[in-house]
Amino acid sequence: MANSVNISIEAPIENQIQEITYDGQEIYQAPLSMSENLARLAQKIDFSKTEDEFCNIKKEGESSSDTKSDEDNKDQSYQSSLWPWDSVRNKLRSALTEVSVLADVLNIAKEKRYMVLDPVQPEKVESRPMVQVYGRKKALSAAAAVLQAGMERLRASETMRMARNMPDFHIDLLRLRQNWRLKKVSNTIIGDLSYRTAGSKFSQTGVFEVTKAPEEQIAQAMSMNTGGPPPSALRVTVPPELQGVAFISVLCQKEQEEVVTATLSASALSCTAGEGELHWQQRLEAAQNVLFCKELFARLAAEAVQLDASIPHMVVGNQIMATVLPGIQLLIGLCHNNGQTNANANVEGVKTEGSSSSGKSDHDHVLEHSLHQLLRAVHHANTHHPFPHPATGPLGPSKRRCLAGPMAADRYELLDMSKEQSLLEQIIQQAQHFFMRRRSEYVLDTIAKEVKDPLIVSHWNALNSPTQSCVKINIMAHGYDAVCRTSLVVHVGEKTLKCICRDGKVRHLSYELQELRDLIYCQIYQHQMTAVQAVGRCMGWQLLASSAHLGSGPVEPLGNASSCLLASPNGDRMIAIRCEPSVGIQVFIAQSPRKDFFSSELVQDKKWENLGGAFKEIKLDKMEGKNFLNKMELLMACLSSPS
């Protein structure tokens, strides 16, 4: 509370700064010397002002000559700036002359012999009050006439409106103003329906005009639909190029030989005929949509021409063709139905084919919505630049850009920051991902249908992005899912798949279906092998040997053969399992004291029968059991003998 604060007072910098160098040094102007200072002050004296104050009897001729001489003096001071006292001397001399003349006149007038000073009465101004009164009365009556004429008109339109119960122009205009931006320009009301304030930089303007609907039309409309809503008193005129309905059609299809394929049937676009029937809100919204679609298509077409893809994109008329994956094309078209004459004739540049009845049914609404969202995101980024933190920073640079300095970003990082993906690239990526996802789904579904023995369960993640999805695949046998379960995760990208298996191996697959299919089959057979070993453990059987990549036997076309050898709890039985992805599973059993041992001359001792017999193959398809694991469990059960 009673803190004393030191206050230091110092005079501010007296010398003007002439220049600031880039290292922050300030160079001051040298202060003026005494004589320079005096000369500067003397130049500032304005002699014309002092003359007017003292001499009231100045005639206009003399004052103009003074101003002329002032100008001369100014010119002179520009020319002879070496001697600033010249103008001062001239001024003083002329002042002296004037004062001497004045002194002489006063002396002569004081003597009263040759000159006398007399007071003069000012002239009286005649007052004419009646003229003023008449003038004011005339002006007021003119003003009253104007006001009365306006009032008569308003009263007439009001009574007419009340009589016929017609819609009010001003109320309708208020409603229009609540939804759209209007401006009054001289006599007309102009509105703007473009996305310019939302961040669009499209050059086409969306200007519409609002006028009063003629009364006959309103009366006619009211008499025609008595039950419906009353027509509005406004009429909006939309520019002709924005009339009608438009949408962007996005189609993914197999590659066709013809360059231009017709995709739109004229009946796909519905447009109510007639200008007067559509409410102004619908008409304005339709026009705004047309403008948006035009901007979107113009941007995509420009990008298609500029982008350097391996297979170049083609722009033909109102269609853009881009190759998404080998054999798959993406067709983006602008469909605009002007609706002026009959709908059939005005579909621009498209001929209908009988075979391609796909039309609007194949049109991908999701990708169209994505395109709309992408353009809106571009608009948003145009207006919402990040604010600087701290507040005195420059407006504009993003956070990464601000950090580029202190974090010592190199040239390549800076260039990367400035690159951004175009709309066409983004939509192509989304289309690619859509295809990859559909293909992966198809592969998994077919495998699940084909392979019944271990069950293939796939869980697709509910949360995904337009360019990435995730699926978790569980391979398990019915009834044995607690014993052994193999799972793997597949990340579906735009053109590649990434499989992460439980053992930690990450495999990157391309867009070919066959690779995923092969991988799943290999995983299935690996699962069988590990599951059998797990079941054996449960049953008490011992694992003698196992090999995941067996080198014996014929070369496998797909993957590697794997095998394992199990021994019963008391060691007298053995099961050998060989698993091959292309052939299937083969099971062999052997028992330890050989049943077919007969002593011969070479091998005489009886003890050699314990070495174990030959392996005999089991016909798995004749065995009882729901699935392979069940069969193995039953086999192990019946081979385990109590001892």
Query: Residue 16 — φ and ψ, nearest 5°?
Result: -75, 150
Contact between 387 and other proteins per CB under 8 A? yes
Q: Are the beta carbons of 509 and 494 closer than 8 angstroms? A: no
Interface residue with other proteins among 390, 504, 554, 642 (CB under 8 A) is 390
Should residue 40 be labelled a site residue for other proteins when binding is judged by CB under 8 A?
no
Of residues 7, 8, 24, 33, which one binds other proteins by CB under 8 A?
A: 24
**C-beta of residue 303 within 8 angstroms of C-beta of residue 424:** yes
Q: How far is the CB of 406 from other proteins (least distance, A)?
A: 4
Give yes or no for a contact between 538 and 629, defined as CB atoms under 8 angstroms apart.
Answer: no
For residues 132 and 383, which CB has a smaller minimum distance to other proteins in the complex? 383
**403 — alpha (psi -120 to 50), left (phi > 0) or beta?**
alpha
At closest approach, how far in Å is the CB of 75 from other proteins?
24
State yes or no: residue 412 binds other proteins (CB under 8 A).
no
- Closer to other proteins by Cβ: residue 402 or 470: 402
Rank residues 298 and 404 by Cβ distance to other proteins and give the closer one. 404
The answer to whether 611 contacts other proteins (rule: CB under 8 A) is: no
Considering the rule CB under 8 A, would residue 29 count as an interface residue with other proteins? Answer: no
Cα(170)–Cα(172) distance, integer angstroms: 5
Using rule CB under 8 A, residue 411 touches other proteins: yes
Instruction: Tell me which of 389, 419, 505, 607 binds other proteins, using CB under 8 A.
Output: 389
Q: Is 410 in the site for other proteins (CB under 8 A)?
A: no
584 half-sphere exposure, CB direction, 13 A CA radius: 8
Of 173-181, 209-217, 401-409, 513-521, which segment contacts other proteins by CB under 8 A? 401-409
Of 1, 116, 395, 614, the one binding other proteins by CB under 8 A: 395
By C-alpha distance, which of 633, 632, 628 is closest to 451? 628
The residue among 391 and 602 lying less far from other proteins, judged by its C-beta, is 391
Please identify which residue in the block is written with the tokens 């009253």.
Answer: 144
Give dist(CA 379, CA 382) in Å, integer.
5
Nearer to other proteins, 227 or 405 (CB): 405
- Give the shortest CB-191-to-other proteins separation in angstroms: 19
12 in contact with other proteins (CB under 8 A):
yes
Inter-CA distances, 412 with 403, 420, 421, 573, Å: 15, 14, 17, 68
Please identify which residue in 4, 16, 79, 341 interacts with other proteins, judged by CB under 8 A.
16
CB of 190 to other proteins, least distance (A): 22
CA distance 413 to 498: 27
Q: Closest distance between other proteins and the C-beta of residue 59, in Å?
A: 36
Q: Which residue stretch of 161-169, 185-193, 394-402, 573-581 sits at the interface with other proteins (rule: CB under 8 A)?
A: 394-402
Q: Based on the shown chain and the rule CB under 8 A, indicate whether residue 405 belongs to the binding site for other proteins.
A: yes
Residue 296's contacts (CB-CB under 8 Å, 6 or more residues apart) are 248, 371, 372, 375, 423
Q: Are the beta carbons of 304 and 313 closer than 8 angstroms? A: yes
**31, 150, 393, 557: residue in contact with other proteins (rule CB under 8 A):** 393
Of 26, 46, 62, 512, which lies in the binding site for other proteins, with binding defined by CB under 8 A?
26
Angle between helices 47-54 and 60-79 (to 10 degrees): 160
Distances (CA, A) of 61 to 67, 68, 81, 106: 10, 11, 29, 22
Query: Could you say which of 227, 326, 406, 551 contacts other proteins (CB under 8 A)?
Result: 406
- DSSP letter for 596, please: T
381 binds other proteins (CB under 8 A): no
DSSP sequence for 96-115: HHHHHHHHHHHHHHHHTSS-
- Decide the pairing of beta strands 319-325 and 328-337: antiparallel
- Please name which of 166, 147, 282 lies closest in space to residue 217, comparing C-alpha atoms: 166
Under the binding rule (CB under 8 A), the answer on residue 112 touching other proteins is no
Q: How far apart are CA 575 and CA 639, in angstroms?
A: 9
- Count of residues engaged in binding other proteins, rule: CB under 8 A: 27
Report the nearest approach of other proteins to the CB of residue 378 (Å).
16
Per CB under 8 A, does 42 bind other proteins? no
Q: How far is the CB of 384 from other proteins (least distance, A)?
A: 6
Taking CB under 8 A as the binding criterion, the range among 274-282, 341-349, 403-411, 449-457 that sits at the site for other proteins is 403-411
Q: Closer to other proteins at the Cβ: 15 or 67?
A: 15
20 forms part of the interface with other proteins (CB under 8 A): yes
Q: Which is nearer to other proteins, 46 or 168 (CB)?
A: 46
Instruction: Label residue 338 exposed, middle or buried (CB < 10 Å: 0-12, 13-18, 19+).
Output: buried
Site residues (vs other proteins, CB under 8 A):
12-13, 16-17, 20, 24-26, 383-385, 387-395, 399, 402-403, 405-407, 411
